[in-house]
Amino acid sequence: MAWRDGRHSWKRLLLYMSAIIMGVAALVAIRSFGTNLRLAVEDQAKILLGADLAIRGDTPFGEKAEDLFHELGGEQARQTSFASMALFPRQQATRLVQVRAVSGRFPFYGQLKTDPPEAAAEYQEGRTALVDQTLMLQFGVAVGDDVKLGAVTFKIIGKLLEIPGESAIASDLAPRIFIPERFVPETGLVQVGSRVHYTVYFKFKGQFAVDATVKSMQDRLHALSLRADTVEERKADFRRELQNLNRFLGLVGFIAVVLGGIGIASSVHLYVRQRIGTIAVLRCVGATPRQSFAIYLLQAGVMGLMGALAGALVGLLAQRALPYVLGRFVPVEMAQSVSPSAVVEGLLVGLVAALLFALIPLAPVRKISPLRTLRADVEDGSLIRRDPLALVLMSVVVLWLLGFSLWYSSTWQIGLGFFAGLVVVFGLLSLVAKSIMWAVRRFFPASWRYEWRQGLANLYRPHNQTLVLVLAVGLGTFFIVTLYLTQATLLEEVANVGSENRPNLVLFDIQNDQLPGVTALVKRENLDILQEVPVVTMRIQSVNGVPAEELQKRRSEHRGNWALRREYRSTYRERLSDAEKIVEGELQSRAGKTIRVSLEERIARELGVKVGDRLTFDVQGIPIATTVGSIRSVEWRTFQPNFFVLFPAGVLEDAPQFHVIVTRTDSRQQSARLQRDLIRQFPNVSAIDLSLVLDTIDSVLDRLSFVIRFMALFSILTGILVMITAVISGRYQRTRECILLRTLGASRRQIRRILLIEYFFMGLFSVVTGLVLSLAASWVLAELAFDTTFAMRPLIPLLVCIVVILLTIVVGLSNSRGILDHPPLEVLRSEQ
């Protein structure tokens, strides 16, 4: 019976159920991609590290460390990495880069991918270098050109295409240059205060118990301030990150499922209303309420399954696009294979969503009275609201959404937050949509022309699809505009940092003897020295008399250990900078009998210390006992050096130190000129230009938002599908009205105008709803999450509005094609 009843409307039902396609596709694509990535990582786990074991330190390895490495044995390779300015002499271009100086056959697993390929093996043979391809592209550098690092000029023999275990996004953040390690001393780049990382990589023969060995050496490593990285740890880290990414993208994809579900509920609701007559007849001829309900449930189930199957197919196709979208974030090579578990999961989620959302409007089928065959005016207005089963089903849907949110989130807080966000977004979209409809009905001037009144009145006609359309289109608009505005706000924030007379160029690693020269160079460009800050590196030796190592052992890994372990770059001065404010205690200007340091509030919290506590610092071998004199807040988002620990004057003046100079250049050209002159005279001095920071953030945000946009695309496509479905399911009623108006003498032009007005306002209201919400969300994100000022950029949102309104009109009118061709006689036919 289900088949016989549905055979004439299966196309329509299938269309309704198609709203689930994109949601299922998103889940299948993401899950399948995740499975492939996990398999790839399992398969190429050693490539992630490039070795069996890596041991890292921030200072050159001493004798004890070398003894330890000797004990470990195996094949070893070394890497010294640090940030430095690179000069490309032919292009006269400079840029801060990440230098990787390597000796030995690193990487042991995987290969550096270069162009030409042989360069990867040859670069260690002479004064030669491999340079990140993005950097070469940026400055128009070719293989065969030179790059100068410090005092040494290297010949570029290859373009660096891929580094095993590192994602391509890393080259956007800090472009890398590989050189042979033996030239590091000659470059003169490693000096006092230089932040250098030293790594030794190991490759062991046979079955070497790396993890057990590392565990047994943990105390010695701690004592030497060394950290060990094993393949298993790297794999676990990566798995965790991968799972988080997968879950996040899964949640974004899930929004498409929910939106599709709402579309299904709305379409099935209309479908049921149109079938009321049939159902009443079935009831008359003996069908039980359960039977009539089962007929339509079966139809919805079969069509839902077909929709989910189509979604799984689309998902497998979309999965092929994911490596291009996420490629820069993925550090391994991946195969493309179908993951059966992902397909089954997608199918199940899709089918359950389709059935659950269809069940709500189907529940009242049980209540349709056979009396309707005799009396058309049997009341059935608010069947859903009065049906306890429908209410139970609604609760099940809510619980299912909550369950899914929790299941797909890494922590229950995120899951609950996502669920709350979902409820708030959909709730607010519905609220704004309903308010607009109410306002139109309440305040629309009765004196307006008939076409306007009719067009607008259609928006709140009984069984209208306005709400679902506003949800579908509004959500798409919300996604696009929120992403854009948030990105704009973040960029504006960075750009603002360098506005007006604020600093936009920081020169660091200036040695004591270089200070006069660098100062003179800056002044020669007629630039002001806005700040000149001495920096002294140090570590925490003890807190209130307890050694730092002891404390590290006591504390869990998550609390405060990084604060105990890290190298502090501190400064000394008599007063606060304009980015600092004392929140507790008093600032000591000059040291007295006791040295009272000022701690930044977050680091004080991490260390678990308060005013009056004792801290002993190891300043390059010399212990300095201090007391916490004050806690201060620091506005970190300023383009100037800020410090966790501030010493009073009169303590560190004679300690080994380097300097930072902060200035403001008038143009990018001036900044580039200064950096070029600087690198020629003082090759070890590095510069960070604000425009470089801006460009880097811009490109990273661009790539991130591209990924989110790609996932949001599934929701936007679902929105369009729901929009088409809603327009088509409302066509029956619209056709009747158009025919009636034609019968009463309306011209085609009048009817077209009514439809145009209806769809224009439908698009407008949807866009306004999405826009209002996205403005609110972007504002909240800016003010609360990013603690910055919301930046309004009206152009793109305006363009989005125009496109969405046009899209709504095009979908609406193209669906109304043919309505005008119906002969008016159908009004009379329906009488019979």
Least distance from another protein to the Cβ atom of residue 757, Å = 13
760 vs 779, beta carbon nearer another protein: 760
For another protein, the closer CB: 449 or 553: 449
Taking residues 391 to 430 in sequence order and writing x for each that binds another protein by CB under 8 A, - otherwise, the string is ----------------------------------------
Q: What stretches of 730-747 show up as alpha helix (H) in DSSP?
A: 731-743
Q: How far is the CB of 811 from another protein (least distance, A)?
A: 21
In whole angstroms, the minimum distance from the beta carbon of 747 to another protein comes to 5
For another protein, the closer CB: 176 or 742: 742
Nearest to another protein of 324, 443 (CB atom): 443
Interface stretch with another protein, choices 72-80, 230-238, 374-382, 759-767 (CB under 8 A): 374-382
**Of these, 212, 285, 335, 744, which contacts another protein (CB under 8 A)?**
744
Q: Which DSSP category does 534 fall into?
A: E
Question: Which CB, 581 or 748, lies closer to another protein?
Answer: 748
| Per-residue contact flags (x/-) with another protein for residues 812 to 831, judged by CB under 8 A | -----------xxx-xxxxx
Taking the least distance from each CB to another protein, the nearer of 517 and 824 is 824
Six-digit token string for 557: 């890994």
Give the one residue of 735, 743, 786, 803 binding another protein; rule: CB under 8 A.
743
Q: For residue 150, what are its two tokens?
A: 């410090």
Question: Considering only residues 376, 398, 625, 780, which one is a binding residue for another protein as defined by CB under 8 A?
Answer: 376
Give the shortest CB-455-to-another protein separation in angstroms: 10
Going by their DSSP bridges, the two strands 113-115 and 152-162 should be labelled as antiparallel
Spatial distance between the Cα atoms of 160 and 184, rounded to a whole number of angstroms: 20
Smallest gap, in angstroms, from Cβ of residue 277 to another protein?
A: 13
Alpha-carbon distances of 590 from 5, 227, 625, rounded to whole Å: 91, 37, 15
* Residue 415: C-alpha distances to residues 260, 401, 562, 701 (Å): 20, 10, 28, 24
Nearest approach, Cβ of 808 to another protein (angstroms)?
19
Quick one: 11 or 449, whose CB is closer to another protein? 449
Among residues 423, 740, 781, 803, the one that binds another protein under rule CB under 8 A: 740
Contact letters (x/-) for another protein, 688-727, by CB under 8 A? ----------------------------------------
Q: Does 741 bind another protein (CB under 8 A)?
A: yes
- Distance from chain centroid for Cα 266: 32
- Number of chain positions touching another protein (CB under 8 A): 32
Tokens of 777: 């969300």
Least distance (Å) from another protein to the CB of residue 268?
21
* SS3 state of residue 643: coil
Among residues 169 and 457, whose Cβ is nearest to another protein? Answer: 457
If one asks whether residue 75 binds another protein (CB under 8 A), the answer comes out as: no
346 with 313: CB under 8 angstroms? no
**81/729 with CB nearer another protein:** 729
**Of these, 144, 206, 286, 381, which contacts another protein (CB under 8 A)?**
381
Nearer of residues 289 and 818 to another protein, judged by Cβ? 818
Nearer to another protein, 213 or 750 (CB): 750
User: Of residues 174, 352, 414, 457, which one binds another protein by CB under 8 A?
Assistant: 457
* Interacting residue with another protein among 11, 215, 449, 668 (CB under 8 A): 449
Give the C-alpha separation, 820 to 811, whole Å. 16
Binding string, residues 327-366; x marks residues near another protein by CB under 8 A: ----------------------------------------
For another protein, the closer of residues 461 and 637 by Cβ is 461
Helices 231-284 and 412-443 pack at an angle, to 10 degrees, of: 40
- Which of 63, 377, 513, 654 touches another protein (CB under 8 A)? 377
H-type helices in 44-151, by residue range?
Answer: 45-49, 63-72, 119-122, 133-139
To another protein, the closest distance from the beta carbon of 430 in angstroms equals: 20
Radius of gyration of the chain (CA): 34
DSSP for 3-23 reads: HHHHTTTHHHHHHHHGGGHHH
- Per-residue contact string for residues 748-767; x = within reach of another protein by CB under 8 A: x-x-----------------
Please report, to the nearest 10 degrees, the dihedral formed by the alpha carbons of residues 32, 36, 42, 47 taken in order: -140
Cβ at position 725, least distance to another protein in Å:
21
Q: How far is the CB of 819 from another protein (least distance, A)?
A: 13
Angstrom distance (rounded) from CA 780 to CA 786: 9
- Binding another protein (rule: CB under 8 A), the pick from 204, 208, 460, 779 is 460
Distance in angstroms (rounded) separating the CA atoms of residues 642 and 600? 10
Which of 523, 748 has the CB closer to another protein? Answer: 748
Q: How far is the CB of 746 from another protein (least distance, A)?
A: 5
Closest C-alpha among 762, 753, 752, 758 to residue 818: 752
Determine the interface stretch with another protein among 43-51, 328-336, 710-718, 735-743 (rule: CB under 8 A).
735-743
Which part of the chain contacts another protein (CB under 8 A), choosing from 220-228, 417-425, 446-454, 716-724?
446-454
Alpha carbon of 237 to those of 45, 225, 233: distances in Å? 11, 21, 6
In this structure, what token pair is assigned to residue 12? 């329509």
Distance CA 306, CA 295 (A): 17
Nearer to another protein, 340 or 823 (CB): 823
Q: Is the peptide bond before 107 cis (omega within 30 degrees of 0)?
A: yes
Cα distance between residue 55 and residue 65, in whole Å: 10
Distance CA(111)–CA(44), nearest Å, equals: 12
Q: Which residues contact 47 (CB under 8 A, 6 or more apart)?
A: 107, 109, 110, 164, 165, 331, 332
438 binds another protein (CB under 8 A): no
Instruction: Output the smallest distance, CB 394 to another protein, in A.
Output: 25
CA atoms within 13 A on the CB side of 53: 23
Task: Report the alpha-carbon angle 629-634-640, nearest 5.
Answer: 120
Among positions 105, 113, 127, 461, the unique one binding another protein when judged by CB under 8 A: 461
Q: Return the number of other C-beta atoms located less than 10 Å from residue 175's C-beta.
A: 21
Site of tokens 């949110």: 405
Write the secondary structure of 66-112 as one string of H (helix), E (strand) and C (coil): HHHHHHHCCEEEEEEEEEEEEEECCCCEEEEEEEEEEECCCCCCCCC
- Torsion-angle region of residue 286: left (phi > 0), alpha (psi -120 to 50) or beta? left
Tell which one of 3, 450, 562, 732 touches another protein (CB under 8 A). 450
The dihedral sign for the CA sequence 406, 408, 414, 420: negative
Strand partners, 625: 616
Is position 747 an interface residue for another protein (rule: CB under 8 A)? yes
Residue 585 or 730: the one with the smaller Cβ distance to another protein is: 730
Return the residue of 76, 246, 458, 684 that touches another protein, per CB under 8 A. 458
User: Does 445 help bind another protein (rule: CB under 8 A)?
Assistant: no
Token representation of residue 142: 């070719």
Among 210-218, 429-437, 733-741, 793-801, the segment contacting another protein (CB under 8 A): 733-741
Q: Are 262 and 357 in contact (CB under 8 A)?
A: yes
Exposed / middle / buried, residue 17 (Cβ in 10 Å: 0-12, 13-18, 19+): buried
End-to-end CA distance of the chain: 26
Q: Using CB under 8 A as the criterion, which residues of the chain lie in contact with another protein when the complex forms?
A: 376-377, 381, 449-450, 453-454, 457-458, 460-462, 737, 740-748, 750, 823-825, 827-832
